[in-house]
Structure 1
């Protein structure tokens, strides 16, 4: 008899039983184990990228050009691609990024593969749209430190940009709003490279090794990952406190509280998508972990430990421990299997 429930499979990790249970379409897989109240969305492929019409294709091309445009920065040395390199998973491979005057930012540059699907942007969710988000790093004094009037000046003197924006947006003069719209069009066109995880939805779990399949099962069950990482994007698009805000310490970052001023949001950060996660390290809002093994170990420990005393450096109250963080009883082999699964997403 097949073990068709996650609870049954948890007691028997025989590879052949896992193969049978996870054969066929996702709808027939063992049910994911999540906490009460979690709005779980079943795993699935990303929505297909439809071919753009002529106007949108022109906007995407303009956005791609602007993404590499160093003149958007005050010094002419930084472009969007400086911190979001296609060769580095649209991140920069650094713990936290360097910007204007070689100043180091507080947060890790997130990958951009799935930004077109996200309902908020930045680690703290401060931007509701890509158009809003696109202009924030340009004007940020410790990122690109660009000046809108100067940018509008040189871009309107550039004949090729004038022609391109005229055709794509029908405007006689280019403003920062059009710059943002072009960049947003380009970012919406991004998709992660094809991985074994994509092939699971067309060919089944036969494309996974036994170790990767065990990792998938652990992800959905005793490792508790599916509580926050579910759906086609493998994110709930919500905000959680993992106990690594360094509240009251040198690296203190109060997270979403800085936007909402809701005491519940102290130390909370947006759940990132795990699509192509192997390419987007280091990990977490502060780039604390250089490897996925380190991330897994954080969750095994039940997250970090926040200080309970009021910090003297902020009016934000001490963070509240996220109830979905619990210590996990994962063996070294199970941790390795979980990493093996994450690496094929």
Structure 2
């Protein structure tokens, strides 16, 4: 009898549950506006420590070393140059959203990440990048790893700050093709970004709109957080000998040798000396010589000169050189051993860098160099790609009201 009563009670409660659920109106699929707006992170990304002023300060093992006259000379335990840091965690995180959001381009189709993709070493895997309306650009996309250490940006060094670099890409007719006026109008029209900018720049009056310098600062803050100094090579440099195998150590020795002279331009720990070099790398068939740094510096001796690129995460950034001329690392390294100026057009007189000569490396030595270069791969501090962008929240909220969703 008791079992029957218990069964009847459970059946009644179950029936009441389904009846209540059936009679209740369907839930509103549109979330409250506050719940869809991302909360900016309050902690610094890896590789940074937050101080009492809410600033993210870079910290790494290379800071314990010194450099003679503040100049690296190829030694393994060499201090890096000054880094640009001190941004707040909120500014860095806001920049992360902006970096991946195509709303920054005039037609909403290109983001910073279109040409600087995390999984491709913050390059794009193309010989030359693709810009506005599918236009093929003249040069490849440089990696952004460790960009906060660099004194000049772009292959020809025409920008001296990240903010200048950001504006050049945003407003170039060939790249993102936007205008300052349109960019402000777009971002100020997105409620999520209004709230996020107020969180990242708390001294703003509540009614103030988003300002251009805040946009540039936020993107620069995110780019400055892209630090890569924790590869297997770095562990070897800090004293852990087993981090590299014998072939990789042989490659390191070739890299640092007076014969190859790689380390004299690609100086550790950044693996660039931040100078400009004329090496005579070839252009694609039918393409005229790129004058490079000659244009912004108005210096004929820099005709065909380009900024020495970092070799950090070089394994991820093929094809190589400013024009993407070499599909593989082996071909890029081989170029240097084929003889001084062998690819310079006959009608050009270039002032080739004196390090570019004829090392006559063997095939074995080239292979070992490639082995070593792959030890510079380090994505330990890879940032997270946002799952939802602020510019998508409006369309998502509208779509959620559709009965068919």
Give the TM-score normalised by structure 1: 0.81
**What's 2:222 paired with?**
186
Which runs of no fewer than 5 residues in structure 2 stay unpaired?
1-70, 377-405
Tell whether 2:345 aligns with 1:307: yes
**What's 1:202 paired with?**
238
Please show how residues 125-136 of structure 1 align to structure 2 within 5 Å: 125-136=157-168
Alignment match of 1:223 (pick from 260, 264, 268):
260
Tell whether 2:135 aligns with 1:98: no
CA offset at residue 161 of structure 1? Answer: 1.3
CA separation of 1:88 and 1:155: change in aligned 2, threshold 3 A: same
Please show how residues 40-59 of structure 1 align to structure 2 within 5 Å: 40-44=73-77, 56-59=88-91
CA separation of 1:96 and 1:201: change in aligned 2, threshold 3 A: same
**What's 2:62 paired with?**
none
CA separation of 1:206 and 1:45: change in aligned 2, threshold 3 A: farther
Asked if the contact 1:99–1:144 (Cα under 8 Å) also holds between the matched residues in 2, the reply is: yes
Describe the SS at the equivalent of 2:277: strand
**What's 2:106 paired with?**
74
CA offset at residue 114 of structure 1? Answer: 1.1
Asked if the contact 2:180–2:212 (Cα under 8 Å) also holds between the matched residues in 1, the reply is: yes
- Select the structure of larger CA radius of gyration: 2
Describe the SS at the equivalent of 1:269: strand
Alignment match of 2:371 (pick from 322, 340, 344):
340
Deviates more, 1:60-69 or 1:141-150: 141-150
Describe the SS at the equivalent of 2:215: helix
**What's 1:287 paired with?**
324
Please show how residues 85-124 of structure 1 align to structure 2 within 5 Å: 85-124=117-156
CA offset at residue 157 of structure 1? Answer: 1.9
Deviates more, 1:289-298 or 1:165-174: 165-174
Tell whether 2:170 aligns with 1:138: yes
Describe the SS at the equivalent of 1:306: coil
Please show how residues 165-180 of structure 1 align to structure 2 within 5 Å: 165-169=197-201, 170-171=203-204, 172-180=208-216
Tell whether 2:270 aligns with 1:233: yes
Q: Distance in 2 between matches of 1:124 and 1:45?
A: 26
Alignment match of 2:310 (pick from 262, 268, 273):
273
Asked if the contact 2:140–2:323 (Cα under 8 Å) also holds between the matched residues in 1, the reply is: yes
Asked if the contact 1:247–1:319 (Cα under 8 Å) also holds between the matched residues in 2, the reply is: no
Describe the SS at the equivalent of 1:65: helix
Describe the SS at the equivalent of 1:344: helix
Q: CA RMSD in A?
A: 2.5
Q: Distance in 2 between matches of 1:87 and 1:228?
A: 26
Task: State the number of aligned residues.
Answer: 300
Asked if the contact 2:147–2:223 (Cα under 8 Å) also holds between the matched residues in 1, the reply is: yes
Asked if the contact 2:156–2:293 (Cα under 8 Å) also holds between the matched residues in 1, the reply is: yes
Q: Distance in 2 between matches of 1:193 and 1:88?
A: 17
